[in-house]
Each structure stands twice: as C-alpha cells, then as structure tokens.
Amino acid sequence: SFGFDNKLYYENNDMKVEIKDCSLWLFTCLIDGETLGTAELKSHSSVDEIVRYGYGAEETVMYYDFEGWDLYENGLGEVIFTDERTGKIIEKDYYFVEWISYQVEITDYDNSCAGLPQEELSKCTPNILGTHMETRWRWERLKTKDIKNTRIGIKTYVGKNDYIDAVWTIAGKEITKHASWTAGLNVGLDIYYKLDEEVNGTVIDSTDNNNGTNDGVIVNVTGIIGTAYDIEQDDSLEVHSNTNTGITGTDARSLSVWIKRESDGAIVQIAGGGVANAFELFGMGIQTAGNEMYFQGGGAADYNTGQAITADATWHHVVVAYDGAKGYTYFDGNPTPTTAQTIALITPDDKLWVGGIGSLGSEFDGFIDEVGFWSRNISQAEITDLYNGGTGITFTTEFPPIITLNSPVDFFNSSSQTIIFNYTATVGVGKNITNVTLFIDGIENITTINNTDNNITITTELNLSEGNHTWNVTSSDSSDLVGTSETRNLTIDSVSPLINITFPTGQVDYQIVNTNLTLNWTVSDLNLDSCLYDYNTTNISITCADNTTQFNVTIVNNRNLTFYANDTFGNENSTTINWGYKIFQNSLDFNSETIEGNLEEFTLNITITNSSLQISTVNLFYNGTDNFGSFTSVGDEEILTESINIPSVTAERNLTFLWIVTLSDGSIINTTSNNQSVSNIGIDNCTSNTNLI
C-alpha cells in the first residue's frame, strides 16, 4: 500500500477507526481492499473529552490500542499539534511510546517491627521471609515507527496552561477524530486542606472529596496563607472521610505541606499514610540526628534527604512524591540534596494523616498549613508554583484569564522600530473577557474592551524607541479576576554601525611594492557583530575590536578599499576609502657588494599618484654624505639615478644609504635605508695582505 490510498471507517462513536487498503484507485478509491487493522483511542473516554494533565513534565497525552495488524513498517506518521486557544499549528517535540509490562522482585518481611514507637523503629531489623515477583507497567520509547498489535502512545512535554489538540497520521491517513488535552495544578488533586477553620471539628477538603477530623489541635493561628493549625507533640490530626485515599502499592502520589517547627532535636512525622508498620508507609518526617528531613517509605524504603529542617521560626515548604519507581523530595521549591531514590512502596489503602502517621507516634510539633495530596507525581514546575517564591499559593477553582503571548518571542531583537504584538486571553466556560491591556515598560499602553468573548486574540502595532523594552499583558474577566502574563524582553536597534577609517586616507607619504600597508579603524555599535574589508576583490574578515590590521600592496593602482560592519540585528554599514601615494617605490637597483673607489650607480623607480605633485630635487644620502641626483620621467614613472665613487674603508663593512626626495609641495620623503657591502683594497710588500704559497 502507498498509504495515501488507504481508507478510514470510524465506529464506536468515532473512538475506533478501521483502516483499509484500496484495491482500485482512480483519483479516489473505487474498491476497498483488505483491512490493515484497527486503532482505538484509549486515552480519552470520547473524542470530545479534554483530558487534563499536570504540567512541567513529559506526559503520554494520547494513546491507541492497535489490533489486527500484520507488521506495518513506518506506519506511525507525523503528529500535528494545534494550540486550541489561538487555532494555530505549533511545533512540539514528541516521540512514540509502547505500554509494556515488566517484573519487579519485592522483598517480604515479617511483622516483628510492627507497632513499635518511631524511636525504636530505626533499631529494629525485621526478618526477611522471602521475595515475590510483581508485574508492573510502564511507557517505553519505541525505537521504530512500525505498527504492531500493542498499545502505542505519543509522549510530549506539557507546559503550564497548555490547551493542545493533536492529529495523528496512522498508515498514511490523518485520524481527524482526534484528542485534546490541557494542563493544570488541580489535575489529580484528591485532597486539599487550607486549614482555615476557626473552630475544632471538621477539616474542610477544598476538593470536596475527603473532609477530615480535628482531634483537638489548636486552630485559627497565623499561617503561610490565611490561618493554620498549631500541632503539639501529643496531638494527631486525623484527616479522612469514610473512604481512604484509594492510593495503594506503587501508585504514583505527591504530598505538599507548609510547616514551621516550634522545637527540634526529636524524630517527628509531618504527614503521610499507611499502617503502623515500618514497611507499609508513605510520607515525610524529620530525623533526630541533624534534624534531617527523610522520605518515609517504610523501613527499607526510607531515605534521608540531606536537608535539615530546624525550629527557625520560618515557614518552609516540603514535598514528597512517588512516580511508581522512585521517591522524590523537595524543600522550599528545590530538590533536596538527596532525591530521586529507587524504592518499592507497598502501602495499603489508608487515610491521609497530618501531624503524625496513624499510631506511629512521634507527632510533629509546630504549625502546619496548606496540605495537598495528589494521585500523581507532580513536577518541578508545579512545585515551583506551589512554593511561589516563599509566599505559597492556595486551592482555587476560580481561575483568572490565561494570557498567551504569541509574538514577539522573549528577548526579541529588531532592526525596525515598528513592533507587532500578538496575544490571546482566554477564560473558562460561562465567563467573558472584559478587558485586555498591553503594558510597555510597565506603563499601560493600550486597552481593548470586550464583553462577549471568552477567547480573544489581539494584534497591536506600535512604534517604540531605540533600546531595551519589556512588555506584558493583563486581562480581566466577568468575575473581576485579573490574569497577568509573563514579562518578555525586546531590544530595538535600527541604527547601523558607525565606521571611522583613520588610515590610509588622503596621501600616503611612502610605500614600497609588495610590502604591508596598515589599516586603522574604529567601529561603534551597541550590538556589533562582525567586520570585513574588501581589497583587490578579496573579502577579508577581521575582528571589529582589533582596530588595526595590515594588507599587502602589490600594485600602485589598487588604491581603494571598502570596509563593512554588521550588528546582531541585521543592520549593515560600509564605507569606501581612496588614497594616493606621494612616493610609491616600484624598484631599487644597486650592487649589493662593491670595492672602495669603484664608481657605482644607484637607480630608484617611483610613481607619484598625485598629478599636482612634481619632484623638486633628489639626493642620494650615502654613508652620511649628501649626493645630488638626477631624475627623468618615463610614462607614469620617475627614474632617479646617481653615480658615486665608493669611499675608502679600512676593512670590509656595510655602508648605509637612502634616497631623499623633495616634492613641489615642500614635503621631504626619505626612502627606507639599505646597506651596501664595501671591501677595502690592501696594497703591501706581499706580506700583510698576501697569502704566500
């Protein structure tokens, strides 16, 4: 099958799709072929359901059961994601996963430590009765895109406030009866105690799932938010309804509590669940030694976190979580020094206890507030939000508008002062957007009034000044709740780099062919990126901040250069310079070796590129003596000559000479010095300067 000619047949309220090959294709399928297999959506109860997940972690957001397939190679095709708030297709990383079973060996203990006080549990060693195997399930990444008879899902990162729809291509066809999901902190939240009660009695669960009972602890004391409970060492706050939490064995779970200790130095239980057996617990506590927070997993499943919690008169946020295989611990929004430990929980279904765990004793001494219990492993991003910089957040079902900043992206760089802002405000069903306000640099810029929609996308075009800016959006709804977006940054730089070439400019006094000429410059720009120059049809990249370089001059007629500078915003500038040479030395002829008394000729070939300049005089300055020379014009070149008798020397030595050229503008140009090796003539009685044979 080619894939494109396959046909889809939906059934079971569009939850199941049968995929058939096409036997006869003529612009459309005229005759169905064999059935390739079926795919049934199992992650959702209907194609219209919007499944909710936590955020800040990868989740398997949708999955199908595939049945009746022979191996269909590369049948798992592209997944198209759409932001349901904006209606735009978005890019998301994803991969395919398979639901597989695996075996875990569990150690069985006797009950010899059951019921002991917490102080004695650490000294008690239970007897190992043996082990047994348990079957567990997990999502495992697929290494191919082949379709086989199994459960296959899509795993992707779920961000805060996501509202995403996905269309999956299976066997070459888009499954348009697809699935959507959204994200929120209330997902999987089974119990939440604000502990704001003013009198003893019922402890209100804000989720309406599992009210608790106050066994006489002090209420209505100042909490991290509102009021809190003050638990003394001998109290035990039991929080449960007629049913337990429903979380057992290796089920994922999370427990979040705000605490402020009144005394330390003793082992205490903060919160958790299970039975009075050191090997059937889940919760959090503090050890005697070092006041160290520990994960209460039950004896062998306990682990110390390396985090001390003392009676420092400060509210602290503590979290323990379990994903079915590992235990995680957090303190004040961050992972503890020791966390992510592999453990096997075997907890039975039980109540959630706060201030202690059942009949274990060792109750907490201090203040407790804002207790949350989830039937899933909450993410670091969610824990960061719960901590909220140390001020915490509390449970609510009334959420302000969600604002999505569509464009520009954060830290946007623009070479134009015209910026187009696009943003979306969304509220829940039954409420409307009343206004949306764009702020630039913290100042209200433009407000859009809307009283009918629960989803509105706004595009605003503004001209901003040069430099750095911030922008964010707020929105109010019909319940007077105000939502605030993240704050983004942008920078405007519409000014091109400023280039200043300081050399060569105008007339260069003197240059020798096939030698280097220095290039000096300065370039200024707030966001300078790269520089280069073009000389003799060759582009040479340079470091802008070096401010100097050299290039080789091979011919007198190449007397211009273009310098380019770019900044990171795409602004470009260039400048072309032209220069001339008062004296350009084409060649210098002389004998490098001679004998004293010889008549030697010296010839200098030069070019003067400025037609308004002429030679006035030339001199050969030889060994400190000025010798007047002559010059003749040959085309564009000037030939300078002078013949001199080489002075006497007492021994072989180098004599230095140079040319001095006086021009019509009064400038005097000295050429580069050169050496001539001069030998002396020795006359004697055939002894001093003669080798006798």
Which of these, 22, 58, 62, lies nearest to 42 by C-alpha position?
62
Residue 149 pLDDT > 80: yes
| Average pLDDT of the segment spanning 68-78 | 88
Q: Are 316 and 309 in contact (CB under 8 A)?
A: yes
pLDDT at residue 139, rounded to an integer: 95
Which of these, 413, 530, 524, 406, lies nearest to 466 by C-alpha position?
413
Strand locations in 536-652, DSSP E? 538-542, 548-553, 560-567, 572-589, 593-595, 599-607, 615-622, 625-628, 630-634, 637-645
In this structure, what is the dihedral angle of CA atoms 484, 488, 494, 499, given to the nearest 10 degrees? 150
The number of C-alpha atoms within 13 Å of 123 and in the hemisphere containing its C-beta is: 5
| Average pLDDT of the segment spanning 283-304 | 85
- Cα separation, 430 vs 479, in Å, equals 10
Q: Which residue has the higher pLDDT, 137 or 179?
A: 137
pLDDT at residue 46, rounded to an integer: 85
3-state secondary structure of 580: strand
pLDDT at residue 412, rounded to an integer: 95
- At residue 5 the predicted structure's pLDDT band, cuts being 50, 70 and 90, is very low
Q: Are 261 and 365 in contact (CB under 8 A)?
A: yes
- Max mean pLDDT among 49-53, 665-669, 688-692 falls in 665-669
| 8-state DSSP, 646 | P
| CA–centroid distance for 689 within its chain | 85
- Per-residue model confidence as pLDDT tens digits over 110-143: 777 766 665 565 556 677 888 888 888 899 999 9
Chain position carrying tokens 């638990």 = 231
SS (H, E, C) 122-188: CCCCCCEEEEEEEEEEEEEECCCCCECCCEEEEEEEECCCCEEEEEEEECCEEEEEEEEEEECCCCC
- At residue 1 the predicted structure's pLDDT band, cuts being 50, 70 and 90, is very low
- Per-residue model confidence as pLDDT tens digits over 239-284: 554 468 888 888 899 999 999 999 988 888 899 887 655 567 888 9
- Cα separation, 634 vs 604, in Å, equals 12
Q: Which residue has the higher pLDDT, 115 or 20?
A: 20
Domains and CATH numbers, the chain: 7-183 (no CATH), 189-390 (2.60.120.200), 402-488 (2.60.40.10), 498-580 (2.60.40.10), 590-679 (2.60.40.10)
SS (H, E, C) 214-276: CCCCEEEEECCCCEEEEECCCCCEEECCCCCCCCCECCCEEEEEEEEECCCCCCEEEEEEECC
Q: Are 557 and 484 in contact (CB under 8 A)?
A: no
- Per-residue model confidence as pLDDT tens digits over 316-364: 999 999 998 899 999 999 999 998 888 878 788 888 888 877 655 567 8
Residue 689 pLDDT > 80: no
pLDDT at residue 616, rounded to an integer: 96
pLDDT at residue 409, rounded to an integer: 95
